[in-house]
Amino acid sequence: MPAAYDSYDYPIFWRGREYEHKSEFLAINKFLSKISEISKVLEIGAGFGRLLPAYRYRAKKVVLSDPSVKLISKAQRSYSKFKNVVFVQSKLENLPNKKGLGKFDLILMVRVLHHISDIDNAFELIHSLLNDRGYLILEFPNKNNIKASIRNILKGDITYPINIFPVDIRSKKHVKNNTLPFINYHPDQVLEKLMDHGFEIIELRSVSNIRSTLLKKLFPISILLDVEKRLQIPLAKFMFGPSFFVLARKRG
């Protein structure tokens, strides 16, 4: 059965989004600096391998997985020269049954959680795929980001910032057509679920904090990234940015 992203040109989505792309690299590199040793890495929903250069050098073996044949094939064409990289076409729920995968020291799941409605099941599966004391780098769209909070308060929803329930931002038409969910999660809910499923939280980062078409026209990317680097940790306390990154560790 074709995956949703088989019919979508995901690489084109990233054209003109160098700031967002490099902001995510910043967060991942800072997280990696807190992990002393990594042997095996799994990236869930790796797509065409966009993030692989951020972490491949740290591991002896990397598994890139994605449900899309189109995207994982593109990743294979780009990175098959690396002998330590394996490509697996699979949904998250099928990964524990894949022979020979074993367990991992680090799992990354970036720009995937918003397509998952049952995050309890997702975190349970991820927990089962990690070695004891293994790490998880998780990203999700922040429902409580500053722009969304102000917009909804101005509409009269003054309880929006403290409402931890997720919101599916698909149009009614897309919901009716049963397209992939696109869910914005409140960080408090995600962090609570992670802890419920056996993880401890190591560090939080607010990412793409100054994402703005106007700012990207006015300032070089290097200046925006320098500001971004300084904001990621302090603004995480305020759930400021549109993208939220978590470094968590499986409890032994």
Task: Go through the domains of the chain in sequence order and give each one's CATH number.
Answer: 4-250 (3.40.50.150)
Predicted TM-score of the model (pTM) = 0.96
Q: What mean pLDDT, rounded, does the chain reach? A: 95
Query: Quick one: pLDDT band at residue 119, thresholds 50, 70, 90?
Result: very high
Query: Quick one: pLDDT band at residue 123, thresholds 50, 70, 90?
Result: very high
How many CB atoms lie under 10 A from the CB of residue 46?
27
pLDDT, tens digit (0-9, with 9 covering 90-100), for 214-247: 999 999 999 999 999 999 999 999 999 999 999 9
Residue 203 and residue 185: Cα distance in Å, rounded? 18
DSSP-derived secondary structure letter, 38: -
Q: How many residues does the chain have?
A: 252
Mean pLDDT in residue range 87-113? 96
For residue 248, give the nearest of 205, 184, 185, 186 by alpha carbon. 205
How many CB atoms lie under 10 A from the CB of residue 144?
22
pLDDT of residue 1: 59
**Helix or strand holding residue 87 (H, E):** strand 85-89
In this predicted structure, the answer to whether residue 102 has a pLDDT above a threshold of 70 is yes
Tokens standing for residue 248: 């968590």
CA distances from 38 to 29, 66, 94, 106 (A): 13, 21, 24, 7
pLDDT, tens digit (0-9, with 9 covering 90-100), for 133-151: 999 999 999 999 999 999 9
How many CB atoms lie under 10 A from the CB of residue 158?
10
Are 152 and 177 in contact by the 8 Å Cβ rule? The answer is no
pLDDT, tens digit (0-9, with 9 covering 90-100), for 8-40: 999 999 999 999 999 999 999 999 999 999 999
Return the minimum-mean-pLDDT range out of 75-84, 171-180, 214-223: 171-180
Are 21 and 50 in contact by the 8 Å Cβ rule? The answer is yes
Spell out the residues 6+ positions from residue 40 whose beta carbon is closer than 8 angstroms to its own.
59, 60, 61, 62, 63, 102, 103, 104, 105, 106
Residue 249 and residue 127: Cα distance in Å, rounded? 9
In this predicted structure, the answer to whether residue 172 has a pLDDT above a threshold of 80 is no
Residue 31 and residue 54: Cα distance in Å, rounded? 11
For residue 115, give the nearest of 197, 10, 23, 4 by alpha carbon. 4
pLDDT of residue 104: 98
Residue 183 and residue 203: Cα distance in Å, rounded? 23
How many CB atoms lie under 10 A from the CB of residue 33?
8
Tokens standing for residue 74: 């593109």
pLDDT of residue 252: 79
Residue 221 and residue 20: Cα distance in Å, rounded? 10
pLDDT, tens digit (0-9, with 9 covering 90-100), for 176-211: 677 899 999 999 999 999 999 999 999 999 999 999
Tokens standing for residue 244: 């939220």
